[in-house]
Amino acid sequence: MSAAARVFAGPLRYVQGPGVLDRLGELLAPFGARPFVVTDPVVRSMLGSRLEQSLAAAGLKPVFGTLDGEITYAAVEVLLGVLDGEVADVVVGVGGGKALDAAKAVALRTGLPVVTVPSIASNDSPASGAVAMYDEAHVMISVDRLPRHPAIVLVDTELIARAPADFLRAGIGDAISKKFEADGCWAGTGAIPVGGRPLRTGRAIADACYRTIRAHGVAALEACAQDRVTDDLEAVVEAVILMSGLGFENGGLSLAHALTRGLVRARGAATAAHGRHVAWGLLVQLAAEGRPDDELLDLIRFLHSLDLPTNLGELGMANPTSVEIEAIGELTMTAPHVLNLAVPIDAASVAAAIDRVETLAARR
Ligand SMILES: [Zn+2]
């Protein structure tokens, strides 16, 4: 693809609302009678009979596969073995990130369309064409890409509301950066995840994602903590799954996500949720861009109101040393997204930006 080509890609259909899980059978019927449904053990025991009912009511004869453990290439082979050479019409992932990635990986191997049904909203992947693959030690080894996005993304907000609020909190952290990352990509020279340079559309969606979270984020987390589906929760789930997914794939990623390269190896912070890494990473991006203190303090206070991290201590790295901060800067520079910024950066300027955020967060 030429450097000048601008691209937009996304799922064919997105359905969101309380109780929409019971419409799964009706939505799958046009694909054919034999869906291959991939879940994790928790979802299988929690929702298995409800899924069977919905599919049977639509006259479907599903095959069920369960992903137990990490989403590895070996685990995908085990799932393909469940099909035992029989033909399926569509692959359906129901559950958390691993089950959805497993369904996408099966779709990648078989060429079948894929439908994603997230049971939590902890990141931007359900609507995306990305497939995160790991090894047995939970180290990410590859991000594969589907040639076609999910055919349907089905989001039952009752499931999201009933799940622990920390999942939605992490999803907000992963989503809140997208506006600034898309702005960085627009100003910079790098590529967007679907390939090529961004159109205006991806950036506009990322901007709407940010405004939705600012307006509804706090109330949505309150609703989620009480297992209630409210308009605020609906708005934020749409921002976290649909707008964030479309926003990053079509608007591009930038320094906020590049910093996760360092954080996944950082003392204490390595095991924090991806969305918590990204929320803090956004502050560092704004600092690296030379934004005024007031703008950073405004966002620091907002992240604090959501109980998202604003310094390394809150990410799990108490009393970071300058050597540790420099190491985060070095690893950050290995991410391709560092080209997606209005200002050129290097490991030293990233470390200086981290120091600036540590100082400002203390003034909160
Ligand atoms: Zn992310």
Residue 2 lies in a domain: no
* Same-domain status, 147 and 182: no
DSSP string computed for 167-228: HHHHHHHHHHTHHHHHHHHHHSS---TTSSEEPHHHHHHHHHHHHHHHHHHHHHHHHHHTT-
- The CA 288 to ligand 1 mean position distance, Å, reads 19
Residue 157 lies in a domain: yes
Q: Measured between alpha carbons, how far is residue 93 from residues 111, 114, 122 in Å?
A: 15, 8, 16
* Same-domain status, 115 and 213: no
Higher-pLDDT residue of 166, 5: 166
For the chain, the domain total comes to 2
- The CA 258 to ligand 1 mean position distance, Å, reads 10
- The CA 83 to ligand 1 mean position distance, Å, reads 32
Out of 162, 196, 227, a domain closes at 162
- The CA 130 to ligand 1 mean position distance, Å, reads 11
- The CA 278 to ligand 1 mean position distance, Å, reads 7
* Same-domain status, 95 and 38: yes
Nearest to 125 by CA among 151, 161, 98: 98
- The CA 357 to ligand 1 mean position distance, Å, reads 20
Instruction: Quick: pLDDT tens for 169-223.
Output: 999 999 999 999 999 999 998 889 988 999 999 999 999 999 999 999 999 999 9
Higher-pLDDT residue of 69, 225: 225
pTM score of the predicted model: 0.96
Token readout for 66 is: 């369960």
Task: State the pLDDT at residue 59.
Answer: 98
Instruction: Quick: pLDDT tens for 4-63.
Output: 789 999 999 999 999 999 999 999 999 999 999 999 999 999 999 999 999 999 999 999
Mean pLDDT for all residues in the chain: 95
Residue 182 lies in a domain: yes
CA 121-296-265 angle, to 5 degrees, is: 55
Out of 105, 137, 162, a domain closes at 162
- The CA 297 to ligand 1 mean position distance, Å, reads 23
Q: Which CATH number belongs to the domain containing residue 158 in this structure?
A: 3.40.50.1970
Task: State the pLDDT at residue 279.
Answer: 98
Q: What integer is the mean pLDDT of 279-293?
A: 98
Residue 1 lies in a domain: no
* Same-domain status, 75 and 175: no
Residue 341 lies in a domain: yes
- The CA 174 to ligand 1 mean position distance, Å, reads 5
Give the amino acid at 332. T
* Same-domain status, 192 and 340: yes
Beta-sheet pairing, 114-118 with 197-198:
unpaired
Beta-sheet pairing, 13-17 with 152-156:
parallel
- The CA 98 to ligand 1 mean position distance, Å, reads 15
* Same-domain status, 30 and 135: yes
Task: State the pLDDT at residue 149.
Answer: 97
- The CA 246 to ligand 1 mean position distance, Å, reads 12
Give the amino acid at 314. E
Q: What integer is the mean pLDDT of 64-84?
A: 94
Q: Which CATH number belongs to the domain containing residue 286 in this structure?
A: 1.20.1090.10
Q: Measured between alpha carbons, how far is residue 327 from residues 254, 264, 331 in Å?
A: 19, 12, 6
* Same-domain status, 221 and 353: yes
Nearest to 259 by CA among 319, 317, 201, 214: 317
* Same-domain status, 123 and 201: no
* Same-domain status, 285 and 158: no
Give the amino acid at 117. V
- The CA 38 to ligand 1 mean position distance, Å, reads 23
Cα distance between the two ends of the chain = 46
- The CA 87 to ligand 1 mean position distance, Å, reads 34
Task: State the pLDDT at residue 3.
Answer: 55
For residues 90 and 28, is the Cβ–Cβ distance under 8 A? yes
Residue 255 lies in a domain: yes
- The CA 113 to ligand 1 mean position distance, Å, reads 23
* Same-domain status, 177 and 323: yes
Residue 3 lies in a domain: no
Q: Measured between alpha carbons, how far is residue 16 from residues 21, 153, 246 in Å?
A: 9, 8, 15
Instruction: Quick: pLDDT tens for 244-268.
Output: 999 999 999 999 999 999 999 999 9
Residue list, CB under 5 A from ion ligand 1: 174
Instruction: Quick: pLDDT tens for 59-73.
Output: 999 999 999 999 999
Out of 162, 195, 211, a domain closes at 162
Residue 333 lies in a domain: yes
Contacts of residue 174, defined as CB under 8 A and 6 or more positions apart, other chains included, come to 122, 123, 124, 240, 244, 274, 275, 278, 279
- The CA 10 to ligand 1 mean position distance, Å, reads 16
* Same-domain status, 154 and 211: no
Domain of residue 121, residue span: 8-162
Task: State the pLDDT at residue 144.
Answer: 95
Label residue 340 by pLDDT band (50, 70, 90): very high
* Same-domain status, 219 and 289: yes
